[in-house]
Structures are given as structure tokens and as C-alpha cells.
Structure 1
Amino acid sequence: MQYLENMLQTVKDSNPHEQEFHQAVEEVLTSLTPILKENDVYQHNAIVERLVEPERQIMFRVPWLDDKGNVQVNRGFRIEFSSSLGPYKGGLRFHPSVNLSVVKFLGFEQVLKNALTGLPLGGAKGGADFDPKGKSDHEIMRFCHSFMTELYRHIGAQTDVPAGDIGVGEREIGYLFGQYKRITNQYNGVLTGKPTLLGGSSLRVEATGYGIAYFLSAMLDAKNDSLKGKRCLVSGAGNVALYLMEKLSQFDAIILTCSDSKGTLYCEDGLDVELIKHLKKEQGAALRDYLNEHPQAEYIPVSQYPKDGHQVWHFNGDIALPCATQNEITKKDAQALVDNGCKIVCEGANMPTTAEAHAIFQKHDVYLGPSKAANAGGVATSQFEMAQNASLQTWRPQQVDEKLQQVMKNIFDRVSATAKRYSSEDDLSLGANIAGFERVAQAMLKQGVV
């Protein structure tokens, strides 16, 4: 569709060198042709033009003192992309790779992801090019306090509610919350992912991983199949991957792999998920240490990975679950998965599959669960935390889990039904993009030109 091609070129011209943002926008825009042809009101009201332009982009300096008394400076970001459906909502990422392009792609994805939940949430994302690894607790605290000293003026319980992401866990959220409370003299739900002692929700840490498993289960249910006995390839070893593996094990799936920044762990007979959780969560150990108790497993260091690929995706498995970072499944990886008989991919990380890899999956009819649908359990549970904070209540873990399961089932049903309406019920990527767009677009129309 020429209109969408022109829009994509405009985005590239207006946001030069922002490759991740270009990729995210292109992936969505190429899906919207059917709905724009069906209803020209979106084009006439410049919905796409407004959707790809953030409502507000905030960049700021974050100065802080290291333990040696030296002044360090990082760059902070908050991209408030859309408030059409509710207050801005999305995580903060602390990682050296954070830049404007990464934050904008994450914020754009977050708008549609939050829309798919059916909950009253807008979309945003933020973070800093700060690396918590190798820093002391005092250094992390000082950085978080400095970061919040600028960010506080842009957020609020009914305005913008950040959460955690890569490099931002309960410790960092606690420090950020403490500084917000100190500056504003308000104890409210301005951040989610807080420690439970500070008003955090039960299962918030587990929610993204559990939600992916629930979404994947719904995908299989639609095919009259189940997770029992399925051999799963998982990347990553953070909260998302760990709790996904935990829930997959409860569904009697077999976990063959996981990975960290140094290498990949593989066991043909299945990994001991509880041991991996113990190593990573309680001991802060490396995956390689797993071999001390299970010498029959293999550990493949990054130096031995295939060129232009990730070792995880070069083993035989039924289901691939990328949970590490963006663009981790390359064209070469996708072809290896197809050649090894993998028929299902469910994305746990945000945009973990390159455009070339997506094309290979489509060509070979791989059943793909897109990240903006599959990993929405985290933000859904963040909204549960907001609701608990606003009502001064605490929900039991079972309540949260039941609500999470229902939200993920609703997301799958919404995405699948939309896909069937416009293409094929198996084209969940198209279904997610159109369903998310439609909900945001309708809200924008009702609010006028804002």
C-alpha cells in the first residue's frame, strides 16, 4: 500500500540511524494494509502519522559518584509514546546498549502490547546506558537516586508509571521509589515491580515468564495439542527465562537449553530447572557451574557459537522460546530451526526475531507467537499492582495468577480472531498488530486531534 510505504519512508527520514525503531515500525505497518483498506477513517485522521510519533521524548543527564569519589555521567531516557488508552506504562532498562532507537522501538511496541491486554494502559519506555553489572550496591543506589531526581517531574500514578526491565529489578525499583517518595512526599503506585513490602504485587517477578507459558499453552490448545513432552529451546537466564522454564516444567515440557552472556547450557534429557534457578537467583553463579552437578550436560561458550548465529537455535527441538534480547534469532538461526523440525516459535523477549528470520518462518509455516502478545503478562500484572496500590489492597498469589491466566487467554483469543478475520488464524503477528492498532486508533478518534 503506497500510503504505508510513504509513511515508513517518512519515519526513516525523520528518525535517521534508529534502526531498531525503523524495524519495529516496519513490522507493524506492513500488517495494517487490510484494516486501512477496509476503513479509510484512519488515513483521513492521520492515525498512523500520530501513532509513530511519540507524544513526548525526554532525554537527560544522570551524574553520580562512584565508590572512588569520581563523577560519572550517563544518559537517561523516557519516551512517553501514547496515553490514548490510559497512563503511560512501560519499563526502565539499564544497559550499555540503551540508546534513543532502542527506547523508541520498545515504547512503540509497548503501546500495542498494552492495548492487547484490554487494560487501561498507555505505552512508554525508558532507561539509561548505565550498566549495573560490576557496580556496588552503593553505586547503584546513587545512580538510581540521581536518575529519579530528574525523572520524578515527568511521572505519576495517573500520568506515567514506570516498571523494571533488563538491569532493573526489585533492588533498583526500591531505590528509585525511595527517592521519588523523598522528593514528592507521596507514597503511591508511581512505580511497579516494587518489593512486596513496598506495595509490590505477588507474582510480579514471575509474571512475564508465566504469561508466555500460558500464551503458548493457548496456542497449542487451538491445535488440540499440549505442552506435555514438548522439547523446548529457551534462550536467556534472567527472570523471564527462569520463570518461563519453571512453568513449562509444571506443564510437563522438557527444557533443553538456556543461555547467558557467556554461553549456552544444553542437556538432551532435559535441564534441572530448580538447580538453574538456585544457581542464578540465590548464588549469582554462572550457567557453566551447572556442570558441577550434572556433568552429562554441555556448555558451549560464545566463542564457539556459529558465525552470525546463536547456539541455542542450532539444537533439535519442538518449540523455540527466545527470551534474551532483540534480534537474537538471525536468518541463519531461523533456517537452522526449520531444518531441525521446529514448528513453533513463541517470543519472550521484545522483537527477538530479525525481519529476515520472520520471512523464513512465514515461508515454512512456523506457528509464531509474537512478543507483543506473548510477553504481555508482565505489564498486565503491573496493572494489577497499580490497582492494588490505588485501593490499598493486597491480592493473594492465587488471585493474581488466575487473573494473569485469564488476561493471556483473552489476548490469544483477541489476536487469533483478528488474524482469522483478515488473513489466517495462524498469522498471530498480523492479528496482534491489527488488534492492538485498532484499539489504540479507536481511542484516538474519540479524543479528537490531540
Structure 2
Amino acid sequence: MSAPVKTLEPEFHQAYNELVSSLGTSKVFTKHPELKRVLPVISIPERTLQFRVTWEDDEGNCRINTGYRIQFNSALGPYKGGLRFHPSVNLSVLKFLGFEQIFKNALTGLPMGGGKGGSDFDPKGKSDAEIRRFSQAFMRQLFRYVGARTDVPAGDIGVNGTIVNYLFGEYKRLRNEYTGVLTGKHMLTGGSNVRPEATGYGVVYFVSHMIEHATKGAESLAGKRVAISGSGNVAQYAALKCIDLGATVLSMSDSKGALVTKDGKGFTAEDVQAIMALKAQRKSLSSSEALCSKYSYLEGERPWIRVGKVDVAIPCATQNEISGDEARHLVASGCRFVAEGSNMSSSAEAVDVFETSRSKGEGLWAAPGKASNAGGVAVSGLEMAQNASFSSWSPEEVDSRLRGIMKSIFEQSLNAASEYCDAGVNNTPSLIDGANIAGFLRVARAMESLADWW
């Protein structure tokens, strides 16, 4: 189970090492030694695409960015994963995201492989026309490699529903084909109900199962103090669902700072709607005088240390957003549940802190993003099914299916950890190990059946 040759890809190696640790300290390869040969194969993408994207800005200048698509694993279905437009995008970030996506998609039970893509293009500070021109130029390079049964991208950081529609419109013009090649589209162009809400709602449904299981049904999310980071799509809908279920939301944040409650009363649904309006205009939280007078705006900070006593932490911003020191503070402040709304929210040191707390029976139980934030890709899979049958399901039907998928992912993670690892104190086995094991087993068995290790 040696790691791939070391390269300057820290995010990818962090994700890979977490999987190897879960498998290596469990009974997986003792019970299934034939699956060990899959590991070095699954760690290498089936295909890595890198391309130049040239586009014209509003002054008529030629601008150049780099585009990527990592087609990581197709054992279970077409490659599936979002596109991220952000200056931090590079091969390491996309390899880690694509690698995580393999197992996240497997946990949904839907026929989807794993992939990821994007560009170092930054939508912030760009006009709507510039964003449209870049998106169209990006698709003119990508369209050769994607398709409804080949690779189905979606949105991610920096790629909202409007941009997805720009991409889809260009694909349709190039291919003369109306097909479900992208998910996260507008409802009028083949999108799905509940897709914008899905990741945020899903992480809240998942943490609700954690609370119910840990307390044997005696407690729910109602009355819990919840710290949320981020203020994008995932954080917005996670906050709204928490408020709807009776929890108190203590914080939200963006890349410039954190907005934290002053009096412990928490954010209202109207506050979250105001944040949604700001983000639709690509404005910072600090630009709202109303919000900054009602809450404490902490420039350059994350909420974890400044939020005070908290029961639940839901990081929804980006990778490695909880450090080891912040994890220790969450444990000390009485936090009992952490559910990642972003991918690999917790640094490797933070994961060690959380797992040590769990194994010692100190009361903190953490869930990894590949399990707890799978609601977005789950509803993307449901959108693919609706597109394939030229149908549209009601919000109630999609939400019901989302709830069922999140419950199934929780149970898969719990059962795999219980079967292949230590049971854990107070019947709280490692959901991190459980999600890694359950996702790996499904993909590895599919690869075995296809002889994909050769």
C-alpha cells in the first residue's frame, strides 16, 4: 500500500494518505486480500486533461488561463464532478477533489464515476460579459471530452448556475445536441428542483442522523448551537435548513473574514437572505453595514476560535479550513459533532485531533466531506436521471430521495466502520474510516469485475 511517487501535490497526497490509513488500520485487506491490488491503480487518474483558454476582456485584450479536467475513475459510471473557477486551481487541488469524488459518488449508490475540473480564472472582479466569454471559451476546449454517458461536469466554487448555463449553451451550439451533459442547470434548461439547496440541506440531514444515533434518539438538531463557515451556496442553504430545524446559527464567513454573533441569538433567515443577495453581487460580507452592525465582523479570521461555545461545526468554505489548533479549540469548547460541508475541510492534524477525541470518549464525532457533503452530487445524479428520461420531478420527490440517500450514506459509513474497525466508545465508530472503506469497497469491487487493475 505504498503511496504514489511523491510529487509537489500536497492536497492530493493528504487525501490519498487518509484513505490508505483507513484501509491499512482496518480489516479490509485481511478479509479481502484480492482488493489490495486495486489501490495503486485507483490512485492514478484514467486521464488528465490540461488546455489553454484564450478569451477577450471588455477592453478587447486577449487573456489567457489554464483549464483542466481530471477524469479519475469510471468503474461505476460516467466521470462526475464539478468545475471550479478560482485562482488557487492547480493539478494538486483538482486531483485531490477528483480522488475524493470517486468515493463520494460511490457512497450515493448512483451510477457515477469520479472526476473534477476547472480553471485558474477568477470570476471576482470580472464583468458578466467577461465571465460569459470565458465560460464559452472554456467549453470550446472541453466539449471534445465530455458527454452525457462519458463525463458530466457540474458547478463548484466560482461556478454558479448562470455559468453552468453558459457552458451548456456553448456545448449545445457546438454539438447541436440537447443532452444532460452538465448538471446544476436552470430549471428551464433541464435542471432539477432542490439542486441549489442539495449540498447544504444534505450536510444538515447527515449531521441530524449523527445526533440521533449518538443520543439514541433523545436529541435532534433543535436547540443546538451551530458554527458555519463560508457564505456561498453550501453555507447559505445549510444555515437556512439549520434555522428551519430549530438550531441557532452562530457564524458565517467569506475569504476576507468571519461574521459572528454578538449576543448568542444567532442568524435569522432574513440575515441569510441578505447574505445571499450580497454573494449574488459578488460582494464581501464586510460590505453590508446592516450585518456588520448586528454581528461582529472579524477581518482575516475564521469563526472556529471566536465563536464561543458550540455544539455542531459545519465547515462549508474550502479545503483545510480547520487547523489543528482550531480543532483543539472546538473540542475544548464542547463541540460534539463536526460534519464537513466543504471537501476535506479539516487539515490532517485536525482529523487526528477529532479522531483522538472520539476514541477517548471525549464526545466529539466527525464526518468527512465524502459522506456528509454528498447531497449535491446525489441530486446531480438525480438530475442526470431526469434528463435521460426527459422528465422533471417535484421538489418534494427530489428532497425525499435526497433524505433517503443521506441516510443510506450515514448507515453505510457506520456499518463499514463497525465491521472493519473498532466499534468506538459509546457506539461512535469512525465515520471517517467508515466512509473511506465503504466507498473504496464499492469502487474496488466494480474494478475487479471489469478487470480494471490490469
TM-score clears 0.5: yes
Question: What are the within-5 Å matches in structure 2 for residues 401-420 of structure 1?
Answer: 401-420=399-418
Aligned to 2:271: 275
Matched AA of 2:321:
E
2:244 is equivalent to residue 241 of structure 1: no
In the TM superposition, what whole-angstrom CA distance separates every residue of 1:236-266 from its partner, at most 9, and x where no partner exists? 0000000001111111000000001121111
Structure 1 unaligned residues grouped into runs of 5+: none
Matched AA of 1:203:
V
**1:280 Cα offset (Å):** 2.6
Aligned to 2:161: 170
Say whether the 8 Å CA contact 1:259–1:312 is kept in structure 2: no
For 1:265 and 1:325, the matched residues in 2 are separated by 17
Aligned to 1:197: 188
Say whether the 8 Å CA contact 2:231–2:275 is kept in structure 1: no
Q: CA distance change for structure 1 residues 289 and 312 in 2, over 3 Å: closer, same or farther?
A: farther
* Structure 1 residue corresponding to 2:224, chosen from 230, 241, 248: 230
2:157 counterpart SS class? coil
Q: CA distance change for structure 1 residues 293 and 77 in 2, over 3 Å: closer, same or farther?
A: closer
Matched AA of 2:285:
L
**1:289 Cα offset (Å):** 5.2
Aligned to 1:430: 433
2:84 is equivalent to residue 87 of structure 1: no
Question: What are the within-5 Å matches in structure 2 for residues 25-104 of structure 1?
Answer: 25-33=16-24, 34-43=27-36, 46-104=37-95
For 1:296 and 1:90, the matched residues in 2 are separated by 38
**1:290 Cα offset (Å):** 5.3
Matched AA of 2:260:
Y
Matched AA of 2:290:
N
For 1:251 and 1:290, the matched residues in 2 are separated by 27
Matched AA of 2:315:
P
For 2:47 and 2:53, the matched residues in 1 are separated by 19
Aligned to 2:335: 342
**1:418 Cα offset (Å):** 0.7
2:246 is equivalent to residue 255 of structure 1: no
Question: What are the within-5 Å matches in structure 2 for residues 283-362 of structure 1?
Answer: 284=281, 285-288=283-286, 292=290, 295-302=293-300, 305=301, 310-315=302-307, 316-362=309-355
With normalisation by structure 1, the TM-score equals: 0.94
In the TM superposition, what whole-angstrom CA distance separates every residue of 1:126-153 from its partner, at most 9, and x where no partner exists? 0000000111111111111111111000
For 1:25 and 1:246, the matched residues in 2 are separated by 33
For 2:169 and 2:113, the matched residues in 1 are separated by 24
**1:344 Cα offset (Å):** 1.2
1:311 counterpart SS class? coil
2:442 is equivalent to residue 439 of structure 1: yes
Aligned to 1:384: 382
**1:342 Cα offset (Å):** 1.1
Aligned to 2:209: 218
Aligned to 1:161: 152
Runs of 4+ in 1 over 4 A off after TM superposition: none
Matched AA of 1:410:
S
**1:296 Cα offset (Å):** 4.3
For 1:35 and 1:164, the matched residues in 2 are separated by 34
Matched AA of 2:228:
V
For 1:291 and 1:416, the matched residues in 2 are separated by 45
Q: CA distance change for structure 1 residues 54 and 294 in 2, over 3 Å: closer, same or farther?
A: closer
1:86 counterpart SS class? coil
Say whether the 8 Å CA contact 1:291–1:298 is kept in structure 2: no
For 1:151 and 1:313, the matched residues in 2 are separated by 42
Q: CA distance change for structure 1 residues 357 and 279 in 2, over 3 Å: closer, same or farther?
A: closer
Say whether the 8 Å CA contact 1:258–1:312 is kept in structure 2: no
For 2:303 and 2:204, the matched residues in 1 are separated by 22
Structure 2 unaligned residues grouped into runs of 5+: 359-363
For 2:303 and 2:149, the matched residues in 1 are separated by 44
Say whether the 8 Å CA contact 1:291–1:297 is kept in structure 2: no
Segment drifting more, 382-391 vs 334-343: 334-343
Say whether the 8 Å CA contact 2:229–2:303 is kept in structure 1: no
Say whether the 8 Å CA contact 2:243–2:249 is kept in structure 1: yes
Say whether the 8 Å CA contact 1:314–1:333 is kept in structure 2: no
Matched AA of 2:381:
Q
Segment drifting more, 280-289 vs 96-105: 280-289
Say whether the 8 Å CA contact 1:325–1:350 is kept in structure 2: yes
**1:202 Cα offset (Å):** 0.7
1:279 counterpart SS class? helix
In the TM superposition, what whole-angstrom CA distance separates every residue of 1:47-84 from its partner, at most 9, and x where no partner exists? 00110011000000001111111111111000000000
With normalisation by structure 2, the TM-score equals: 0.93
2:68 counterpart SS class? strand
Question: What are the within-5 Å matches in structure 2 for residues 172-187 of structure 1?
Answer: 172-187=163-178
Segment drifting more, 160-169 vs 270-279: 270-279
Aligned to 1:24: 15
**1:291 Cα offset (Å):** 5.1
Q: CA distance change for structure 1 residues 63 and 293 in 2, over 3 Å: closer, same or farther?
A: closer
